[in-house]
Amino acid sequence: MSTRGFKFLTWFIVLALILGCAPTFLPAPAVPTLNPDSINRIIAQTAAAASTQTAAAVPTSTSTATSTPTPRGTNTLEPTFTETIVFVYNSPTAFVIPTLTRTFSPTSKNDYACEVLDGPPDGTIYSPRLEFKVRWRFKNVGKKEWDAESIDFVYDRGDRFHRVAGYDLTKDTKIGEVAEFFVEMQAPKDPGTYTTHWVMTAGDLKFCKVSLTIGVK
């Protein structure tokens, strides 16, 4: 056999082997065609089966007739009283009677009032450190008598050039009567103008306020 014939035979054998080892390709299975009537029939059967199962699962209720008596008249309910038993034990603690505290009504401002009848003039000039005395006279025009033990005439505010800061009422002063106070003072050592304020008091109540202004040269 010639060389050319040998090569041809070799290629033929190789091609046959390759074709024998290659996988066989099968045609793809055909997709079944669904009929629309068949689909609707399947849906209807599924719905009917579900309805039957739901009805079987729901319990059957049996209605029971109840008779309600008709009242002939309106009855009023009366309260029911429950007896309560209270146990009282003797206490060894002695009973203490509380102490009564006496209270007083606050004093009205209209109860105490005055009219200034006389007082020292403002602007009087004094020498430094000079001692002097001034007088105030007040008329009781309020609604209460001025009690000598409870009414005072005292320094309230301002410059301090007094020798005594407060004075008691010398006697009880009835409504319409006049009370007077003599106040001891001393001029300051430095020249200038000074003003002091005084007031009558009845406890915490202040009334009948007056003032005095002096000069020092």
194 inside domain: yes
88 inside domain: no
3-state secondary structure 130-195: CEEEEEEEEEECCCCCECCCCEEEEEEEECCCECCCEEECCCCECCCCEEEEEEEEECCCCCEEEE
**DSSP letter for each residue of 77-136:** PPPPP----------SSPP-PPPP----PPPPGGGS-EEEEE-PPTTEEE-TT-EEEEEE
206 inside domain: yes
49 inside domain: no
In this prediction, residue 196 carries a pLDDT of: 98
In this prediction, residue 53 carries a pLDDT of: 56
In this prediction, residue 32 carries a pLDDT of: 52
pLDDT in tens, 131-177: 999 999 999 999 999 999 999 999 999 999 999 999 999 999 999 99
Domains in the chain, number: 1
**Beta strand 114-118 pairing with 131-140:** antiparallel
* Greater model confidence, 62 or 2: 2
State the chain's mean pLDDT as an integer. Answer: 74
**pLDDT-derived band of residue 38, with 50, 70 and 90 as boundaries?**
low
pLDDT in tens, 183-213: 999 999 999 999 999 999 999 999 999 999 9
**pLDDT-derived band of residue 40, with 50, 70 and 90 as boundaries?**
low
138 inside domain: yes
In this prediction, residue 102 carries a pLDDT of: 34
Q: Which domain holds residue 208?
A: 110-216
Q: What are residue 48's phi and psi, to 5 degrees?
A: -65, -40
* Greater model confidence, 139 or 94: 139
176 inside domain: yes
170 inside domain: yes
Q: What is the CATH number of the domain that holds 154?
A: 2.60.40.10
In this prediction, residue 156 carries a pLDDT of: 97
pLDDT in tens, 97-128: 333 333 333 445 568 999 999 999 999 999 99
CA neighbor of 156 nearest in space, from 165, 147, 148: 165
72 inside domain: no
